[in-house]
């Protein structure tokens, strides 16, 4: 077998696996009423229409918007430069987003309360003692807590008072705008079509830009930046002639993203895996000289080591009293992922179970034993049903589990504006403070999300390139991760731009198929 043929086979296998996964996600969403998990309060979604109808509406809306912008793009001539247009649009987007957040902002409970509270203590020079138990179990949040503390520290002279966390939200909003810019650049770089990039930005605005997740000072809003940033670095032509710099930046961003939200690492892993396969299976294998080893591999290693040292210094200097023996390891989340009672989601009983063991070794061993026991009890059919439930929980919610965490609306501030504040709070508030427009936002966001999931299925067809395979592998990795470990739809939030890119490819594949059918019909007619 030739190297080229082997590479084509691997590419085809990845596309088939992705296509099957995407089809499974779509079918599970269409059969939502057959599963009970999403009817539970923790996962219940207040949409106005059944999921099949929402998916159809989403597809019609996205395709209609695509055709409209294509028609406008073909006719309209640019009057402003691309850079000026993006700067103006980005500035307006940032100002409006912050103005809206200011009018509906609130302080949330759950992990956000722990992280923000510790960051405030550190920013004012105090040692964190009371919440040390939390960081003992979840030391992964030490890094982002230090980042938040630094942001709060530099804004102390502003005397923001109880609204000091808006300084963190401001940075999150900037990252949201920067992610939109990178999405635009990625689409232009891959397709050379600026109107298509504006179409991608329109989807981004509707599902991410107006999403209230930016207002929550936690890792989910920060995780949005890193997968897209790594993808932009490893695919943009700006670093094509600078392999060392490309992989240094990509590796550093990937590791920092990993320290903030572990799931963000999958784009980097996918890109590295694709490039290794391409090197090994080149049509004409060439010897790898010093210039190669001084480029990509060295750049990636230096980037990882630099980011590792940076993160180590940041976390090691955190003035938080915590006990490393209480840390929950990967086996804990694996055990929680096969909990049929909580449907693979967070479970207090599992936390209590893990907490009773004094050392990480004992805890990991007990977690693995309990995982094996649960798998034996469920059997293949039981685990298959659980996988279906978890797939639905992860993918059925276009709000990405908004408002479904503990004490979500912990502190609600007075209204800032007599008209805008009530409207936005009616749009985004749920639970005890139920907004009358909230179901409509859920319906619209979920329809667009389901439309994206359906359209990305068609990206698996036809010829695939390096960019497509990186996207598909990244989504396969995050899907597998969420299926095995804890189920939570907000963990997909950081990958939304990648889902957009695959949906755009899916629309392109549908267009190509329609054009081929038309050509065949014309050819057949001419032969008659």
pLDDT, tens only, 13-38: 999 999 999 999 999 998 877 776 65
- What's the average model confidence in pLDDT over 287-307? 79
Of the listed ranges 278-282, 355-359, 382-386, 451-455, the one predicted with least confidence = 278-282
Residue 514's pLDDT band, with cuts at 50, 70 and 90, is confident
Residue pair 366/354 in contact by the 8 Å Cβ criterion: yes
d(CA 257, CA 147): 12
Residue pair 11/472 in contact by the 8 Å Cβ criterion: no
Write out the DSSP string of 147-173: HHHHHHHHTGGG--GGGGGHHHHHHHH
Length of the chain counted residue by residue: 528
- What's the average model confidence in pLDDT over 168-183? 96
CA contacts within 13 A on the Cβ side of 273: 16
Which tops the pLDDT comparison, 436 or 452?
A: 452
Helix (H) or strand (E) holding 412: strand 411-412
pLDDT value, residue 431: 63
pLDDT value, residue 293: 61
Looking at the DSSP assignment, which residues form a beta bridge with residue 106?
A: 412
d(CA 335, CA 375): 10
Report pTM. 0.93
Looking at the DSSP assignment, which residues form a beta bridge with residue 320?
A: 128
pLDDT value, residue 425: 92
- What's the average model confidence in pLDDT over 52-79? 85
Does residue 41 carry a pLDDT above 60?
no
Of the listed ranges 8-12, 201-205, 277-281, 344-348, the one predicted with least confidence = 277-281
pLDDT, averaged across the chain: 88
Looking at the DSSP assignment, which residues form a beta bridge with residue 128?
A: 320
Q: What sections of 205-359 are H helices per DSSP?
A: 219-223, 225-235, 243-260, 266-280, 290-293, 296-316, 330-337, 348-355
Residue pair 176/97 in contact by the 8 Å Cβ criterion: yes
Distance of CA 317 to the CA centre of its chain: 29
Residue 174's pLDDT band, with cuts at 50, 70 and 90, is very high
């Amino acid at each position: 077998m030739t190297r080229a043929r082997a590479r084509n086979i691997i590419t085809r296998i990845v596309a088939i696996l992705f296509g099957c996964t995407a089809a499974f996600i779509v079918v599970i969403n269409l059969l939502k009423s057959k599963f009970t998990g999403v009817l539970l309060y923790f996962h219940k979604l207040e949409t106005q229409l059944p999921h099949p109808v929402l998916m159809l509406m989403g597809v019609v809306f996205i395709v209609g918007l695509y055709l409209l912008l294509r028609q406008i793009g073909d006719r309209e001539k640019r009057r402003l430069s691309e850079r000026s247009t993006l700067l103006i649009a980005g500035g307006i987007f940032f100002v409006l987003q912050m103005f809206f957040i200011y009018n509906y902002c609130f302080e949330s409970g759950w992990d956000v309360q722990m992280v923000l509270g510790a960051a405030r203590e550190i920013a004012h020079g105090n040692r964190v003692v009371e919440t040390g138990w939390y960081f003992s179990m979840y030391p992964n949040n030490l890094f982002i807590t230090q980042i938040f503390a630094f942001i709060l520290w530099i804004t102390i002279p502003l005397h923001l008072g109880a609204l000091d966390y808006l300084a963190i939200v401001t940075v999150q909003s900037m990252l949201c705008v920067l992610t939109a810019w990178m999405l635009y650049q990625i689409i232009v770089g891959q397709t050379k079509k600026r109107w298509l990039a504006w179409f991608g930005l329109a989807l981004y605005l509707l599902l991410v830009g107006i999403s209230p997740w930016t207002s929550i000072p936690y890792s989910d809003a920060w995780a949005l930046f890193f997968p897209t940033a790594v993808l932009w670095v490893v695919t943009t032509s700006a670093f094509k002639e600078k392999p060392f710099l490309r992989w240094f930046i990509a590796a550093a961003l990937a590791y920092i993203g990993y320290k903030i939200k572990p799931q963000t690492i999958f784009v980097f892993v996918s890109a590295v895996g694709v490039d290794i396969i391409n090197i090994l299976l080149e049509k004409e294998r060439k010897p790898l000289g010093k210039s190669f080893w001084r480029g990509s591999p060295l750049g990636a290693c230096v980037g990882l080591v630099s980011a590792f040292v940076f993160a180590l210094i940041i976390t090691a200097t955190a003035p938080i009293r915590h006990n490393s023996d209480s840390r929950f390891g990967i086996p804990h989340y694996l055990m929680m992922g096969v909990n049929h009672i909580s449907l693979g989601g967070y479970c207090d009983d599992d936390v209590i179970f893990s907490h009773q063991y004094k050392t990480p070794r004992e805890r990991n061993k007990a977690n693995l034993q309990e995982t094996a026991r649960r798998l034996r009890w469920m059997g293949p059919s039981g685990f298959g049903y659980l996988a279906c439930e978890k797939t639905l929980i992860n993918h059925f919610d276009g709000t990405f589990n908004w408002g479904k965490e503990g004490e979500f609306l912990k502190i609600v501030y007075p209204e800032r504006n007599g008209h805008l504040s009530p409207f936005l709070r009616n749009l985004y508030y749920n639970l005890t403070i139920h907004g009358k427009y909230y179901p409509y936002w859920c319906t619209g966001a979920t329809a667009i999300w389901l439309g994206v999931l359906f359209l990305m299925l068609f990206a698996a067809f036809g010829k695939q390139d390096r960019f497509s395979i990186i996207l598909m592998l990244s989504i396969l990795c995050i899907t597998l991760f969420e299926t095995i470990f804890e189920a939570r739809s907000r963990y997909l939030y950081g990958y939304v731009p990648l889902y957009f890119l695959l949906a755009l490819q899916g629309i392109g594949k549908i267009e190509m198929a329609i054009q081929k059918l038309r050509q065949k019909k014309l050819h057949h007619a001419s032969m008659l």
